[in-house]
Chain A
Amino acid sequence: MALNRRHFFKVLGVTGATLAIGKEIKAAPGKETSIEFSGVLYDSTRCAGCQTCESSCAEANGLPAPVGTIEAGVVRKTDESHRTVVNSFNSTKGEAFMKKQCMHCNEPACTAACLTQAMYKTKEGPVIWRGNKCMGCRYCMVSCPFDVPKFEYHSANPKIEKCNMCYSRLTEGKVPACVENCPAEALVFGKRRDLIKEARKRIVENPDKYVDHIYGEHEAGGTGFLSIAAVPFDELGLNTTLQSKSYPELSKGFLYSVPTIFVLWPAILLGIREATKNNQSNEEENE
């Protein structure tokens, strides 16, 4: 018989080991969603496009000062040395501004993608990047629906650059640099739940001033960075076709099938092997 004792234990050991791995894979993202996250509310109608947030961000994070001034209709992008930019758009209600930076998703695609937990959703809400863990595979960039993480392509020791909601400032009890320095009070820092309440209040009290949409309330499963504006958000360069499910949800089904296959496959394969083995010996006898 092919399935002698030694083989059996070997297969058993292999199955056991894979089961253990399978279990770990099953520990899916989203365990911390119930904790109160912090976030930032951006009010496009209050923003004057002064770029103070850009320069204070650069200063707080030791990055080069922002280049270029805002020009209506010209879309500037965040890159490996600029974590946030403000752009101006010719909207149906005249010139309107929109700030871009990491959205700090509730269930971020980048952290679900990261195989070393270098991209990390802290329990306070900010999504941070930890250089000592990152191996530079850039799967976070492939996965992020907002194209936020940026990679230093021209460095032998490249970093991933993205807004981290000034996480080190938060741990010191301060607010993010952009929020602190905004002269127009277009940015508010607070608990995400309170920010949504505040945004709703503003929309309800001034129905003519705002569109009835808080960008980030449902997009990509909800984000820590929320925006309200006078015009629909697709006029402000934001993607309004994003799914309202979180992005890690897309690969959850596949990941959940892994333990099942790991248990069933070896058993089925062994079974088929035994079945075909008998066939062969019968054939030989018949011959």
Chain B
Amino acid sequence: MAVGSIATRGRTARQTWKQSKFGSWVTTTDHKKLGILYVSTGFIFFLAGGIEASLIRWQLSTPNAGHLSPEAYDQIFTMHGLTMIFLFVMPTMAGFGNYLVPLMIGARDMAFPRLNALGYWLLFFGGIFMYASFIFGSAPNAGWFSYAPLTEASPGCFTQGVAAMSAQAQAQFATQNLQLSCFSPGQNPDFWIIGLNLLGISSLVGALNFIVTILRLRAPGMTINRMPLFVWMTMITSFLLVFALPSLTVASFLLLFDRHLGTHFYQAGAGGDPLLWQHLFWSFGHPEVYILILPAFGMISEILPVFSGKPIFGYTFVAWSGVAIGFLSFTVWAHHMFAVGLPTVAQAFFASTTTLIAIPTAVKIFNWVATLYGGKLRFHTPMLFATGFIAMFLIGGLNGAALAVVPFDYQVTDTYFVVAHIHYVLFGGSVMAIFGGIFYWFPKMFGRQLNETLGKIQFWLFLIGLNLTFFPMHILGILGMPRRQYTYPPNLGWDGLNLAASIGVLILIAGVLIFLWNLVRTFMKSGVGMADDPWDAFTLEWATASPPPPENFKTIPTVRSRRPLWDMKHPDKADWLTEGH
């Protein structure tokens, strides 16, 4: 009797908890709620990574500045990279994927809803774990690439160094407990290893879920060749994750064993090789670059057609160029290693594959521009970000292709030129796409629209800010400024350009603040009564209510073309009348 009542009370308590606002989010397995959780978590880490970026630019705004100690700077620039890659762009893309993929393909949820929740919570705790390292004063500090042997714990260099000293100096070292700098005896790389593996598992289960969902749960008529391009790109990204993440896992575990179990994988003196790390890391790292940008391609390929009022130009080319990029991305890793002294023939090979991968990327840009041609362009905020994306990503593509010119790469690799390149790709590319996506799908997620004026102001601040921040970095690299330096001397022609870059960050900060204000305003507004399809869109996610009901669709729609919603709205000009004939 007593036992029974306790059990009942337990059950009711559990039910109340699950029905409470907070509890319903914590225990959810709904792809829409998880999607929103992913995107919000990613956004919070975007703010954290942005604060780190601001600190970096503060320290570098003037030569020989002392705002940050070298130890602090190294932790902050490392965490900036890790945060933006693993805790902002990847989760945000996974969030959009989670929210949109089932809606876009006409499914009721992801294939494995509970696995989906697991993926999110691994990200959540993985992120907290990474940031907890700051509490212990030992955040990862050897760059997001964490090259061995700098990340080795081995006291080898200490003992060797001491052995080389005179007896007198040895005695002095012994009595005064002096430290020799060598590798990384602290816990910093351990936080890197364990944190990234937690996030890796999160990404892996997410990717498996996307693959199975996309392959198996498409609505009737939604053939592979009718899937929205965002779904295509999410699928390719997921395959990249499944096949690229293991390299990171292997690289990091070998390092962990070197550090704690006495193995010698990256220790040159003991039969290992530091370059093994670079081969393994970049076999993951280069596909990773495409993992960060392909979903952005997908978003742009959704937004541009809708606001141009016409279908994407050359759907097949855009989709299959993504596949080509996916395959090729596994063959270009050593273009991060042109300066390590590989044989010239091997370098020529990787220069060729890098040249190859530039082709499908170029094709996409032309297709996007052609999508605008002959359209009726409505410049709402999402469209501004999407067109801004094309121009900025074009710069990122061109300076990236420049880096494939190996003799030029010998000069500018590891300089600010590369910093300019990655930021044109990741800020000019991924971030612009993400904000375009936020403005585009916000009404879908929350049933209300963000303010357009504030959105447009934010866009212009972003566009100007990012160019002012990152364009001078090209010149800095050409003027010989290496990257990852916590400070630099004056009178080398670097001062003004660095100051310009730092001022650019202030403009970006203003843009982010305006976005935050926009969010607050929009959520404070009550009673909005927005149409379900405010943008006059084409794809299935807009064929249901905004926000969608828990089961997504009352009845699963049947799809007859790539633009099911267009067909519905224009039965006389429906795509399926002409498609495939």
Instruction: Say whether A associates with B.
Output: no
